[in-house]
Copies of this chain bind each other. A is one copy, B any other.
Amino acid sequence: MNQDLVLGIDVGGQSSKLGIVTRGGEILAGTVVSSLQDNLSDFLDSLTSAIRSLISQVSGQGTVLGIGIGAPNANYYKGTIEFAPNLRWTYVDGQPTVVEFARLISERVNLPVTVTNDANAAAMGEMTYGIARGIKDFIMITLGTGVGSGIVIDGRMLYGSDGFAGELGHVCVEQDGRQCNCGLKGCLETYASAIGVARTARQMLADSSRDSLLRRLDAETISSKDVYDAAREGDLLAKEIFERTGTILGRAFADFVKFSAPEAIVIFGGMAKSREFFHDAMMRSMNDNLMLVWKNRVKILYSSLKESDAAILGASALAW
């Protein structure tokens, strides 16, 4: 049997996940390498030996045609990873730099390599294998440690004039609001990411003296998981934290709709697990902030892909 295969790589801050994927979205073989390396050539060495080992594992089952990589701050046009604060091996003299990642991998393994940012990869995965199959216009929002986005227009990824389109985690939702890692203030990411939820928790705990299960924890170390657990136990303040998050998300979504009029917004990432607590507030707020022509017409969908596979599938979808 000699079917066509592709290799998907999800480069994360902690680890990079690799998988060999069939046209149908089945992962035939997978492995993981650590991303916590200080030196670019060391990291490339581990990655290429993992790639070679995976390819030899599936040698009887098909031919690997190419490699798709999703990575933070990756540029589809240039094949680069640019100034990624969380990837130590992109640093030179203590500063993150521009790494020609696609070229470096391609030279080593002699296969075509395409890179894109991780949220775009997630959108590709959802469009190719997931809940967005058949939807030609949608916006993927990844709610994780940060907030990322991938925008699909008429069935194609939106890369923009420079390859950096779709940074919706950094639209301003609060003038002179919370300081963001990107240097700006009031970015959606500072409110709607896992870290944003934890910041909202600390703020709301400080702003009132209301009783809450969260007061048993050290405020400085509260995580979005703690807020979720408290909400599950019926804690009213914890529920309100998620409602406030949903309200902010919905308001931002309404403005995204005014831009590209998508059929759906697809939510992916760890925060989606808490949707029972923010979904209603988010829908209400989105529809309150839409004109008549869109009110109650834009679908909100949640990713249907298993989270551990989704990133690999998304990256692999790039390579087809």
| Partner-B contacts on A (CB < 8 A) | 82-83, 136-137, 151, 153-154, 156, 158-168, 170-172, 175, 182-184, 251, 254-256, 258-263, 289-294, 297
- Let me know if A182 and B255 touch, CB within 8 A: no
* Chain B residues, CB < 8 A from A293: 82-83, 162, 164
- Let me know if A183 and B261 touch, CB within 8 A: no
Alpha-carbon distance between A157 and B159 when the two chains are bound, in angstroms? 15
Given A158-B153, A184-B289, A293-B82, A259 and B170 contact (CB-CB distance below 8 Å): no
Alpha-carbon distance between A164 and B261 when the two chains are bound, in angstroms? 6
- Let me know if A167 and B258 touch, CB within 8 A: yes
Given A153-B158, A172-B251, A165 and B82 contact (CB-CB distance below 8 Å): no
Number of copies of chain A assembled together:
2
- Let me know if B172 and A255 touch, CB within 8 A: yes
Name the CB-closest residue of B to A254: B172
What would be 25 A-B contacts, judged by CB atoms less than 8 Å apart?
A136-B161, A137-B161, A151-B259, A153-B158, A153-B160, A159-B261, A160-B261, A162-B263, A162-B293, A163-B261, A164-B261, A164-B293, A164-B294, A165-B260, A166-B259, A167-B258, A168-B258, A168-B259, A170-B291, A171-B255, A171-B259, A182-B291, A183-B292, A184-B291, A255-B255
Alpha-carbon distance between A170 and B206 when the two chains are bound, in angstroms? 35
- How far does the Cβ of A154 sit from chain B's closest Cβ, in whole Å? 8
Name the CB-closest residue of B to A174: B175
Given A153-B158, A160-B137, A172-B254, A167 and B263 contact (CB-CB distance below 8 Å): no
- Let me know if A289 and B172 touch, CB within 8 A: yes
- Let me know if B260 and A160 touch, CB within 8 A: yes
Alpha-carbon distance between A184 and B257 when the two chains are bound, in angstroms? 14
Name the CB-closest residue of B to A137: B161
- How far does the Cβ of A254 sit from chain B's closest Cβ, in whole Å? 7
**Which of B137, B260, B263, B292 sits near A259, CB closer than 8 Å?**
B260
- How far does the Cβ of A127 sit from chain B's closest Cβ, in whole Å? 14
* Chain B residues, CB < 8 A from A172: 251, 254-255, 289
**Which of B83, B158, B256 sits near A292, CB closer than 8 Å?**
B83
Given A171-B255, A172-B254, A165 and B291 contact (CB-CB distance below 8 Å): no
Alpha-carbon distance between A263 and B164 when the two chains are bound, in angstroms? 11
* Chain B residues, CB < 8 A from A153: 153, 158, 160
**Which of B83, B170, B258 sits near A170, CB closer than 8 Å?**
B258
- How far does the Cβ of A6 sit from chain B's closest Cβ, in whole Å? 24
Name the CB-closest residue of B to A165: B261
